[in-house]
Structure 1
Amino acid sequence: MSYYKDVREYLKKLEEVGKLTVVDFPVDKNTELTPLVRLQYRGLSEEARRGFLFTSVTNNGEEMKEISKVATGIYASSTQIYALGLATEPTNESIRKKWEEALLHPLKTKTVSSAPVQEVVITKEEMEKGRGLNILPVPLEVPGFSGQLRTTTHIITKDPKSDWVNMGNYSMHLMGKTWALWEINRGNHGWVHLLNAREMGMDYLEFAVVIGGPPVLFYVASAKVPHGVNELEVAGGLAGEPLEVVKAKTVNLEVPAHAEIIVEGRVSTKEFLVGNAFGEYTGYMATDVFMRPRMEITAITMRRDPIFVHIMSQMPPSESSKVRQISSENIYYKFLKYDCKVPGIIDVAWHELSQAQLCVIRMKKINNSHPWQVLHLAAGYEPRWGKIFITVDDDIDARDLDSVMWALGWRMQPDRDVEIIKGRFAGLDVSAYRPDAPHSEKESPNVIGSSAILIDATRKWPYPPVSLPKREYMERALQLWKKLNLPELKLKEPWYGYELGYWPKEYREDAEFVLRGDFESIGRRLIERTKNTKGI
């Protein structure tokens, strides 16, 4: 299968390959659900993580009668699960190939006249009578600290100036049966749409919240897709075929036809309310209660017996940290290689636990200015993304922090190879300002702002060889290892020695003598060299 049309097909695949745990006894959505799933992120290896499907969710012990099924961890709990969602192999190369195709060749959506997601339609009148946002089994994310219920999922808006459609992963904070607050970072594209609507004198901007779509929707909505690009079309590129969409019931937007639930409405350009604390992807509670626009719900449409899909975020590692990592790596790789046309880009690695703060770029260096070109371009792509940017040579594994630390330790001088740039947007970075600081201090370039460090950890001149046995000897050792039935190896780069430009003839010859066991010739050669060397 090259593409899962809906989340139900995908859940069957997860169960088939042993990556889904089905919980068929009652679980409380406020006190039990997220703590249970959170355990796997704190106590299992990435490869062991799974998706969960709860079939009988309760609300403080009471049955959720209209929607009782909740799935979580199903999209990106691990690289293996992410790859399953893309219907590809769980390798960086296979995932990158899918992303390259999607970004270079997005596919227009296909509009259909009817859709599963509109099998059930709840009108505004019905919501006001009691059948509103309260029917959604939204799990409480951080029991004991969260100040409200919120969905973290894809929200579709349209730019009133250009009709550009954006689908980003934003939050809807539930406040009543028919209204909510929109939690969105001030630099995101949905926010640009809201500002444009206000500038044009509009009272509101229409939106559609998508819950439980095929995996490709989540992968693209979480990515920093460039301004002006329709994420639904990029998702079609990831799927390999156009996504089917249907016209929403009460707003002038098209929504994924095979989603589980759509919440339609209008967000005010004028009415803002103070928010409340919630768990953020940084691993800390977000206590910045800046003003959030009010969302009025105009309709809820859904499939019969729908599945509510919850995204696990907050403390990394999590589902959101993994999707952010993989999406960012592929967006930045495409940006540097294809948009900027920089030669020598081999790999871009965003390290998951840093949550979009640490980026390592592996490259084939042309000259000593080349890494700085790459560093400034990467830092300039998005002012809210990235605090540490590092370039490394092609023999360094950008994804292995041990390899990166080796490069930082021996290929970089702090006074020469480090630059600090300012004027960044701090966003949710709690190291940039005190949590109780006034909002004016939290946005660059005002009182504090934020910054980033650029590090060129590439070799500046020829180096001696890596001090490991040459490849042919290590490959022979591998054969002996297997013959002895020793544990399976996961070799790190470098795992064999190689030359790096500086290896004088006499040292090469010495190595050949020693290989033959002729250490006496080495002694005679050293005597002759000493005669030609000035003493101390």
Structure 2
Amino acid sequence: MSQVTPSESSCIRRPGYETGLMQHLREGLGIKGVYKVILHEPLTSLHKLMVIQFEKGTPQTEIWRAMYGCASYRRVGGKWIVAVDKDIDGNNTNAVFWAMSYRAKPHRDVQMLMHKDSGHGPRSMIDPEDSAVLINAVLKEPYPPISLPKKEYMENARKIWERLGLPRLQPEMPWYGYDLGMWNDKLEHQAQLAVKGDFWETGKWCARHRRSDVKMNAEMRTVEDKPGRGGRVRARKKK
């Protein structure tokens, strides 16, 4: 009788399944940019949820080819297939849901494949066939950096934590901030001002660049970077 995973059997099968998929994608299909394939094991038995990590700059065509390749590799494998960037830990479902929430738009980045075999599991009396959902949660454009201190600051904080004898830390990614394409020299300069304690200089700059002619939540990359009117319109004096 097969037991719920993780089990002795699934722990033995997982390395072989993941290696076989990688070989299929890279060598069998010649897909470029695939970094790693992770099969979800707890309760799903390595069959239903697949996460594919990609190198930065991988063409969208290769990402979709890889997901189609995973969906057709094994008859019962790949009900939910998620493509993510290399910085997303495929073994951490919180990180996978994070990518799905902020790096994918369902109307654009989700495809459904019909007529899949339902495989091992409870059978349905309504419809014996299953389907697959492909989710492209890879970054399609530059993003703001992760809103956390840089790695060196977090590592220093960890040393202080350990020196104080506090409970052992078990950090999960992301545990430090890193660039996702939108960090530039001006922002780095402002960040360094904050580190030095000169954060009011950044406040002065922001005050000079307040605008009253820009709609709320406007994309900052579309707004010309020039001094504004401070967001206020002076009342005219009555004659």
One-letter code of the match for 1:334? Q
Find the counterpart in structure 1 of residue 40 from structure 2. Answer: 351
Alignment of 1:22-37 (within 5 A): none
DSSP 3-state at the match of 1:433: coil
Contact 1:326-1:350 within 8 A present in 2 as well: no
Find the counterpart in structure 1 of residue 82 from structure 2. Answer: 390
Please list every run of 5 or more consecutive structure 1 residues that lacks an aligned counterpart in the other structure: 1-278, 280-312, 443-448
Q: Which of the numbers 89, 105, 110 marks the counterpart of 1:413?
A: 105
Superposed displacement of residue 413, structure 1: 0.7
Determine the C-alpha separation between the residues in 2 that align with 1:421 and 1:359: 15
Q: Which of the numbers 314, 317, 340 marks the counterpart of 2:6?
A: 317
Alignment of 1:234-383 (within 5 A): 279=1, 313-352=2-41, 353-355=43-45, 356-364=47-55, 365-383=57-75
Superposed displacement of residue 433, structure 1: 1.8
Superposed displacement of residue 475, structure 1: 1.7
DSSP 3-state at the match of 1:422: strand
Superposed displacement of residue 342, structure 1: 2.0
One-letter code of the match for 2:178? Y
Change (3 A) 1:533 1:354: farther
Superposed displacement of residue 383, structure 1: 2.3
Q: TM-score when scaled to structure 2?
A: 0.81
Q: TM-score when scaled to structure 1?
A: 0.38
One-letter code of the match for 1:383? R
Superposed displacement of residue 529, structure 1: 1.4
One-letter code of the match for 2:3? Q
Superposed displacement of residue 396, structure 1: 0.4
Find the counterpart in structure 2 of residue 491 from structure 1. Answer: 171
DSSP 3-state at the match of 2:209: helix
Superposed displacement of residue 347, structure 1: 1.6
Please list every run of 5 or more consecutive structure 2 residues that lacks an aligned counterpart in the other structure: 212-226, 233-239
Alignment of 1:41-190 (within 5 A): none
Determine the C-alpha separation between the residues in 1 that align with 2:143 and 2:176: 16
Find the counterpart in structure 2 of residue 56 from structure 1. Answer: none
DSSP 3-state at the match of 1:468: coil
One-letter code of the match for 1:333? M
Give the superposed CA RMSD: 2.1
Q: Deviations over 1:320-361 (max 9, x none)?
A: 233333332222122222332322222211111211100001
Identify the range of structure 1 (508-517 vs 520-529) with the bigger mean alpha-carbon deviation. 520-529
Q: Which has the higher strand share?
A: 1
Find the counterpart in structure 2 of residue 232 from structure 1. Answer: none
Q: Does 1:480 align with 2:170?
A: no
Superposed displacement of residue 392, structure 1: 0.4
DSSP 3-state at the match of 2:68: helix
Determine the C-alpha separation between the residues in 1 that align with 2:65 and 2:170: 34
Find the counterpart in structure 1 of residue 197 from structure 2. Answer: 517
Q: Deviations over 1:245-282 (max 9, x none)?
A: xxxxxxxxxxxxxxxxxxxxxxxxxxxxxxxxxx4xxx
Superposed displacement of residue 486, structure 1: 3.0
Contact 2:112-2:133 within 8 A present in 1 as well: yes
Determine the C-alpha separation between the residues in 1 that align with 2:19 and 2:29: 14
Q: Deviations over 1:193-217 (max 9, x none)?
A: xxxxxxxxxxxxxxxxxxxxxxxxx
Find the counterpart in structure 1 of residue 124 from structure 2. Answer: 433
Determine the C-alpha separation between the residues in 1 that align with 2:193 and 2:203: 11
Determine the C-alpha separation between the residues in 2 that align with 1:381 and 1:403: 25
DSSP 3-state at the match of 1:369: helix
Contact 2:103-2:138 within 8 A present in 1 as well: yes
Determine the C-alpha separation between the residues in 1 that align with 2:173 and 2:27: 27
Q: Deviations over 1:60-113 (max 9, x none)?
A: xxxxxxxxxxxxxxxxxxxxxxxxxxxxxxxxxxxxxxxxxxxxxxxxxxxxxx
One-letter code of the match for 2:80? I
Q: Deviations over 1:379-411 (max 9, x none)?
A: 121122121111100110011111111101111
Find the counterpart in structure 2 of residue 422 from structure 1. Answer: 114
Contact 1:325-1:351 within 8 A present in 2 as well: no
Contact 2:82-2:136 within 8 A present in 1 as well: yes
DSSP 3-state at the match of 1:506: helix
Determine the C-alpha separation between the residues in 2 that align with 1:369 and 1:491: 34
Superposed displacement of residue 476, structure 1: 1.4
Q: Does 1:503 align with 2:192?
A: no
Superposed displacement of residue 504, structure 1: 4.2
Q: Deviations over 1:439-477 (max 9, x none)?
A: xx63xxxxxx22111010111100000011101111212
Q: Deviations over 1:398-439 (max 9, x none)?
A: 111111111011111111111000121123343x622xx7xx
Find the counterpart in structure 2 of residue 97 from structure 1. Answer: none
DSSP 3-state at the match of 2:189: helix
Superposed displacement of residue 522, structure 1: 1.8
Q: Does 1:453 align with 2:145?
A: no
